[in-house]
């Protein structure tokens, strides 16, 4: 059975997974305050971990990402 490509971003995904599958997500993440994308260590963190480190709400960011990426 082949691996299915996820159809939406989940807060449990790493930044590397997100950026590989949805490159335009980087711009949205930067605008939301996730300026850590340039850090090599951040690529191993999940969206939820990154949000916690920046005092942001992971659920809100995940929802915003999926909403904006569906429009593109």
pLDDT the model gives residue 11 = 97
Task: Supply the pLDDT for residue 4.
Answer: 61
Task: Give percent above pLDDT 70 in the chain.
Answer: 90
Reduced to 3 states (helix: H, G, I; strand: E, B; else coil), residue 6 is coil
Using DSSP's 3-state secondary structure scheme, residue 46 falls into strand
Total Cβ atoms within 10 A of residue 34: 20
Q: What is the mean pLDDT of residues 9-32?
A: 92
**65 contacts 54 by C-beta, under 8 angstroms:** no
Alpha helices (H) along 1-72: 15-21, 25-31, 47-53, 58-71
Per-residue confidence band for 5, with pLDDT thresholds at 50, 70 and 90: low
Tokens of 43: 């690529």
């Amino acid at each position: 059975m082949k691996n299915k490509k996820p159809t939406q971003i989940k807060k449990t995904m790493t930044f590397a997974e997100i950026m590989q599958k949805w490159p335009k997500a980087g711009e949205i993440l930067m605008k939301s305050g996730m300026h850590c994308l340039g850090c090599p260590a951040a690529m191993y963190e999940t969206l939820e971990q990154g949000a916690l480190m920046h005092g942001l709400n992971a659920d809100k960011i995940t929802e915003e990402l999926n909403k904006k990426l569906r429009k593109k």
